[in-house]
Each structure stands twice: as C-alpha cells, then as structure tokens.
C-alpha cells in the first residue's frame, strides 16, 4: 500500500528559530524519494534545492522581521512541514510581568512594542488577562491606531471587550480622546488608558480594576500588529494573581 500522506524522507529539523535579521537557512533531506520544497509564507523564499531527487539540501532566505511580534511560517518538503519562527528585533515587554493585586483596587499595566519602521507602523496593540488564554470571560483591551487598515478615521480607538470576547462593551470602540471612564465587563473595569510614542516604540498604559469574579491566578498576554498579513496570535508575557478583598 502506498500512503502519499506519509513522510517519505527525514529532515534535519522540524522547526528552526531565527533572529530578526534577513538571512539564509537550510534544511537537510535524507531519503529515497523525490520531493519538492515549497514555502507557505511570503517572507520565506526557497533559493536552492526546490526539487530534491532523494537526499539533498533545501536552502531558503527570509526577509528581516520589522514587526513588533514573532512570526511563523512553514516550508513543505518530503510530505511534511518544517516550521520557521523568526523573532522581532525588540520583543514586546509588559510591566509588571508578574505580581498580585486585590479585587476592586486599581492596577496599572504598561505594554511596550517596537517596530523597526517606527512607532507609527504599529496599528494595533492588545492586552489580554485570561485564566486559560481564551478571549471570552476575560479582560481584553485593544488599541486601534489611526493607521489601522480597519480604521477609516484619523483618531485612535480603545476597546474593552464584553464577556463574549467578540463585541465591544457599550457596542462600539471609544475614541482615544474620550478616554474610557469605568468601562467594564464581568472580569474587569478599564478606568484609564493612554498611548505614547517615542522613536520606534509605542507604549500603551492601561489602568485596570479586576472584579471579585476574577479572583485567582491569571495569565497575561499581548500582541502588536503592523497591519501586514494576518493579525498575530497573542504572546504569553507573564502571570498575575487577583486576591480577594
């Protein structure tokens, strides 16, 4: 029986982690079958060894990652996928990245994102406090810049998402000029929000009050987007504990 979905050769790795720089990489193939290497990401280009008759080497290049987030892409070869992950030049930083607060009391968090093309290239910044990474039944705060592809105006907006993790509290995002005043869902209240830029960095500061319904350990996630490609996944940046009052 011939099973075409079964890998017909072995690869030197199933995943590669690269720095943010533009660079070359390679994957060694060992087997007895012909295979064709294909890139599934626009920033990964097969430069040599696209067709391997049996054993050989696939060489590829990646462009510089100028975005504020890590990015991942796949190279398909020998009926299997090799994951390529490329770091950003400056990883996102959340401050504080750990600690505790009391339900009902004010707590400030600051997220710093950097983009090699400048702070204005960052079109979205999200903070997510969640028990399990879900965007529902969580405290999810999102900033949309004036340059965001989905923002037709010339002002920034901030959103606290409702308990369902899909719709905005109050039915719409709030212009940043009208900073939120006690916008809340069942998990938290957003009492203040601000954005500052300096050079290639964008800093968002959110003042949050966690509710008594959100007592216990939380995971903290964030993401930034430069409007290129699809919206990236959230990146785990720390943990927090909400204590009972």
Q: What is the pLDDT of residue 1?
A: 39
Asked whether residue 39 carries a pLDDT value surpassing 90, the answer given is: yes
Q: How much of the chain exceeds pLDDT 70, in percent?
A: 95
Burial pattern 221-236, b for ≥16 Cβ within 10 A else e, equals: bbbbbbbeeeebebbe
**Nearest Cα to Cα of residue 189 among 162, 209, 161, 165:** 209
Alpha-carbon separation of residue 115 from 17, 198, 229 (angstroms)? 19, 11, 15
pLDDT above 90: residue 83: yes
Average of per-residue pLDDT across 181-193: 89
Cβ neighbours of 18 (radius 10 Å): 18
> What is the per-residue pLDDT across 29-38, written as a single tens digit (0 to 9) for each?
988 778 889 9
> Are 207 and 106 in contact, with CB atoms under 8 Å apart?
yes
pLDDT in tens, 156-175: 889 999 999 999 887 777 77
Residue 169 host element (H or E): none
Residue 215: closest CA among 234, 240, 185, 184 = 240
Q: Which residue has the tokens 């319904």?
A: 213
DSSP H or E run through 77: strand 71-77
Tokens of 26: 């390679």
pLDDT band of residue 8 (cuts 50, 70, 90) is confident
């Amino acid at each position: 029986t011939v099973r075409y979905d079964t890998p017909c050769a072995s690869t030197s790795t199933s995943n590669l982690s690269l720095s943010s720089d533009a660079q070359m990489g390679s994957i060694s193939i060992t087997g007895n079958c012909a295979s064709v290497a294909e890139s599934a990401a626009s920033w990964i280009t097969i430069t040599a060894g696209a067709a391997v008759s049996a054993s050989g080497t696939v060489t590829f290049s990646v462009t510089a990652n100028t975005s504020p987030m890590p990015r991942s892409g796949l190279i398909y070869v020998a009926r299997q996928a090799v994951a390529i992950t490329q770091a950003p030049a400056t990883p996102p930083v959340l401050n504080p990245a750990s600690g505790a607060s009391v339900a009902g009391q004010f707590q400030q968090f600051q997220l710093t994102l950097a983009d090699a093309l400048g702070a204005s290239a960052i079109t979205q910044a999200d903070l997510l406090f969640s028990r399990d990474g879900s965007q529902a039944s969580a405290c999810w705060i999102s900033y949309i810049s004036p340059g965001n592809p989905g923002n037709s105006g010339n002002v920034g907006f901030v959103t606290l998402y409702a308990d369902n993790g899909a719709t905005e509290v109050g039915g719409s995002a709030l212009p940043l000029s009208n900073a939120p005043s006690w916008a809340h869902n069942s998990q938290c209240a957003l009492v203040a929000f601000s954005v500052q830029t300096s050079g290639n960095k964008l800093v968002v500061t959110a003042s949050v009050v966690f509710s008594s319904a959100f007592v216990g350990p939380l995971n903290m996630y964030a993401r930034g987007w430069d409007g290129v490609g699809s919206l990236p996944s959230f990146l785990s940046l720390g943990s927090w504990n909400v204590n009972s009052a």
